[in-house]
Structure 1
Amino acid sequence: MCAKKFVPYANESDVLEIGGLSIENRVDRISISGDIDLTLDKPGLALAKQLQKLLGDVVAQLEKQALPSRLLKAMPGAFPHLMPARQKNASRRRRQERACS
């Protein structure tokens, strides 16, 4: 199995997909994009539970931290060693697909 535990804020590379949502891990934020339908059936319940677990993990990580009152935005190029997450995640996803097939 190619599944790996998604640890919020742990890195700049993990991507989790739940339904039509793409959840991207970053060291300073979690980015969620896409759509999801939580239907009134067993598949809808399963998706809702996955989202609930994800958000519970995010809240738990946030509660462990000494948080600033507001996150300062990084200047462009401030972290040249970090590839833009979307570009890095697309590249990583292609490598995983090849490894898992």
Structure 2
Amino acid sequence: MIEPFANNHQSMQVGELIIENQEDKIIIYGDLDLYFNDLGYQQAKKLHELTTKIMQAFENVDENNKKTLSSKEKSDRSDDSIDNPFL
């Protein structure tokens, strides 16, 4: 189980659903079919535990403690324009 917003390197998988941890966001993508059986119950339980931890992280943070954007989305982009090599 990941620790929400704690670092930029944890991830977990539930079925085909991928959950990636960042210090400023949680990224969730993929598909998950929850069948009404034991496996579906275990997967739903994992999702419930994760979303509970995420909600606790939101509820336990104060305004002065919020992290600034430092994820890949911001740090990997450059503001420089480049010519399109395909033209």
TM-score (norm 1): 0.62
1:23-52 deviations in whole A, cap 9, x for unaligned?
000001100000001101111011000000
| CA distance in structure 2 between the partners assigned to 1:15 and 1:22 by the alignment | 7
| CA distance in structure 2 between the partners assigned to 1:46 and 1:10 by the alignment | 25
5+ residue gaps in structure 2?
77-87
| CA distance in structure 2 between the partners assigned to 1:77 and 1:8 by the alignment | 18
Q: Is 1:62 the counterpart of 2:61 in the alignment?
A: no
Q: Is 1:34 the counterpart of 2:22 in the alignment?
A: no
1:9-48 equivalence runs, <5 A: 9-48=5-44
RMSD over aligned Cα atoms: 2.7
Instruction: Give the % identical residues.
Output: 29
TM-score (norm 2): 0.71
| CA distance in structure 2 between the partners assigned to 1:48 and 1:77 by the alignment | 29
Q: Which of structures 1 and 2 has the larger relative contact order (alpha carbons within 8 angstroms, sep 6+)? A: 1
Which structure has greater helix proportion?
1
| CA distance in structure 1 between the partners assigned to 2:54 and 2:73 by the alignment | 27
Counterpart contact for 2:8–2:21, Cα < 8 Å: yes
